[in-house]
Chains A and B, each alone.
Chain A
Amino acid sequence: MGNLCDRLRVLVCVAIVAVAHGAAYAQPTDAEVKAEFVERIIRFVDWDPKSLGDDFVACIVGNSPQTPFLQKIAKVRKLKDRRTQIVLVAPDKLDKLASCHAVVIGDVDKKQFGAVLARTAGRPVLTIADAPGAAAAGAIINFYVEDDHVHYEINVRAAEDSGLVLRAKLLRLARIIGERERRGG
């Protein structure tokens, strides 16, 4: 009986160590990576200082797997040298977008997506989507996965329309959308 107890203890310890080890070396999820990318992308985007207040307001429209990670980041990091405020916006209550500097578009339908873009169009609001064709549809930034790596594409035309300045460091790794049309136009 005593021998069995000792074996169980050992197994439990091994299990704990294995779980801890796995947690420590676990690969970050795409959502986590994308949340981190959002923070990094914002680093390389310049807003007109007049359009920024005391806080940097990042809004998340709809459900997004990045939300907890962004909230976590917002707690420990500043964005654009300002306190970071994460505002969750329901797709049917887009009025809140008026105070947002960046909008992460989560799980929304096409109509809601268009409404978000309509609300932010022509304003210095960085729109970040995570859906195929979202950049082409008008989002400034859109994530995509290729070769098991998260990448992003940029609609430079939308960026120009918003009045935001995207730095070369951001553009260098991006797939550019809308440039040909812009240059052609």
Chain B
Amino acid sequence: MARSRMSIRTRLTLIIMGVTLGCLGLGFTLVALRQVDSLRDQRLAAMSVMAETTGDAAVSSLSFKDAADGHDVLARLKTFGDVEAAALYDEKGELFASYKHEGALGAAQWPARLSADAGVERRIDGDAIVQLPIVYENQRYGTIWIASSTDALSKEIDSFLVTLLTIGALLVILSGVFATLLGRRITRPILSLADVARRITKGSDTSLRAPVVPGPGEIATLASGFNAMLAKLEQREQEVVSSRDTIRAVIDSSPVAIIGIQKDGTVGLWSAAATALFSTTEVDAIGKPIAAVAPDPAVMALTRLWARAASEPVGSIEVELTDGLCLAMQAAPLPGGGVVVAVADVTERRRAAEALAERAQQLQRVQKMEVVGRLAGGVAHDFNHLITVVMAAAQMLQWRTAGRGDVRGYVDNIVDAAQRGAALSRRLLAFSRQQAVDAKAVDTRAVL
């Protein structure tokens, strides 16, 4: 987790330092091992030269069995302070002459004898030991054995290692500085890109561009790509702004109030019609809870729509406010949550609809009365014909039965009834407007 929190620059610096230190460590270890081996080899090589020279000088001694001279030859080695002991062996391997440095503290002790064909031997085993056959013109004369202290060699190796460690420490410091500088150099363009991105995010100014380092490097490619992306983003934003302005103009020009309610219940969109409808400016409405910007019944309706928007794709509702204002609301869910609600003032439309319904009912009643009138007219007309026949027949009977008291009463009743039927027929015809109404004042109380 700590690693993931590290910045790219820190990671890069650590990686560069790690790689550098690893390479330095490996290189220095190899150099140290090689140099130590080289110093040991050099020491043995120098001793070999010394042994060859001394052996060559001892050829005469060995050849003519002059042990004293052999001692003298070996004694010359005292000029080399680190030679602790030396010995000459004749061609049979017998000890011929020997030398021990005065005050030599080492435990070097020459072998009592060697084999006649003792070969080359070079080793560092506490002391540096070199053993060489003494050969002159392909003729072997014996063997020389030299032991030397390794104190000087150890000091030389120690000195070398101290120098190496000092150089290593300096290189570590330099590698740290180098890694830091290199890390900065590498990450500067990236951080510059990040800075541009941050400024764009903060200020929404997509006209900003990252500085492009000329050249074919990856950073230049990245910066170019980033700038191309910014150009595209700027174009898109301009398109979005243009589109938004267009939509805004459409929204504001709409007589229907359009209100956007965000997922958290606050107002995100407030059209000019909404301002006019609820007497709340867009500035006062945006960001406020819907309850704070709309009258209570509207709020309840809007809240209901907002709540239903999550489960229903479209919802609509009409609400009548206390002041008689009637609002029709239709909601549609927004992609990111929340709803957009179109609120229309339908008060006038509602009143007009109600008046229209009243008229329709009146018309229906008139039409019904007209039908009834027509029916009554038809019936009255036919009835009138019947009454006319009855009246004619009754009058004829009156003539014929004049003087007959036993049937005159019946005939008179028929005539009277026919006259009342004719009067009823006339009234029905008047109702159906097929006959002029003979309007006259009546005493309603007498009628009732």
- Do they bind each other? yes
Grouping DSSP codes into helix (H, G, I), strand (E, B) and loop, the A interface class, with mixed when no group exceeds half, is: helix
Q: Tell me if A33 and B65 are in contact (CB < 8 A).
A: yes
Using a Cβ–Cβ cut-off of 8 Å, how many residues does chain A contribute to the interface with B?
Answer: 11
Q: Which residues of B contact A152 (CB under 8 A)?
A: 64
Q: Tell me if B63 and A172 are in contact (CB < 8 A).
A: no
Q: Tell me if B64 and A173 are in contact (CB < 8 A).
A: yes
Instruction: Decide if A123 is an interface residue (CB 8 Å cutoff).
Output: no
Q: Tell me if B60 and A169 are in contact (CB < 8 A).
A: yes
Q: Tell me if A172 and B65 are in contact (CB < 8 A).
A: no
Query: Residue of A at shortest CB range from B138?
Result: A81
Interface mask (B30-65 → A, CB under 8 Å = 1, otherwise 0): 000000000000000000000000000001110111
* Residues 138-185 of A at the B interface (beta carbon under 8 Å): 149, 152, 169-170, 172-173
Q: Which residues of B contact A173 (CB under 8 A)?
A: 60-61, 64, 66, 69
Q: Which residues of A contact B139 (CB under 8 A)?
A: 43
* Residues 35-65 of A at the B interface (beta carbon under 8 Å): 37, 40, 43-44
Instruction: Decide if B136 is an interface residue (CB 8 Å cutoff).
Output: yes
A125: min CB distance to chain B, Å: 22
Using a Cβ–Cβ cut-off of 8 Å, how many residues does chain B contribute to the interface with A?
Answer: 11
Query: Residue of B at shortest CB range from A28?
Result: B65
Instruction: Decide if B137 is an interface residue (CB 8 Å cutoff).
Output: yes
Q: Tell me if B66 and A40 are in contact (CB < 8 A).
A: no
Q: Which residues of A contact B63 (CB under 8 A)?
A: 40, 43-44, 169
Query: Given that A169-B59, A173-B69 are contacting pairs, would A43 and B137 also be in contact in the complex, using a CB cutoff of 8 Å?
Result: yes
B75: min CB distance to chain A, Å: 15
Query: Residue of A at shortest CB range from B61?
Result: A173
Query: Given that A169-B59, A173-B69 are contacting pairs, would A37 and B137 also be in contact in the complex, using a CB cutoff of 8 Å?
Result: no
Interface mask (B80-112 → A, CB under 8 Å = 1, otherwise 0): 000000000000000000000000000000000
B251: min CB distance to chain A, Å: 120
Query: Given that A169-B59, A173-B69 are contacting pairs, would A40 and B64 also be in contact in the complex, using a CB cutoff of 8 Å?
Result: yes
A142: min CB distance to chain B, Å: 14
A71–B315 Cα gap in the complex (Å)? 140
A18: min CB distance to chain B, Å: 23
Some 18 contacts from A to B, beta carbons below 8 A apart, are: A33-B65, A37-B64, A40-B63, A40-B64, A43-B137, A43-B139, A44-B60, A44-B63, A149-B66, A152-B64, A169-B60, A169-B136, A170-B60, A172-B69, A173-B60, A173-B61, A173-B66, A173-B69
Having A149-B65, A169-B59, one finds 6 other A-B pairs with CB under 8 Å, namely A33-B65, A37-B64, A40-B64, A44-B60, A169-B60, A170-B60
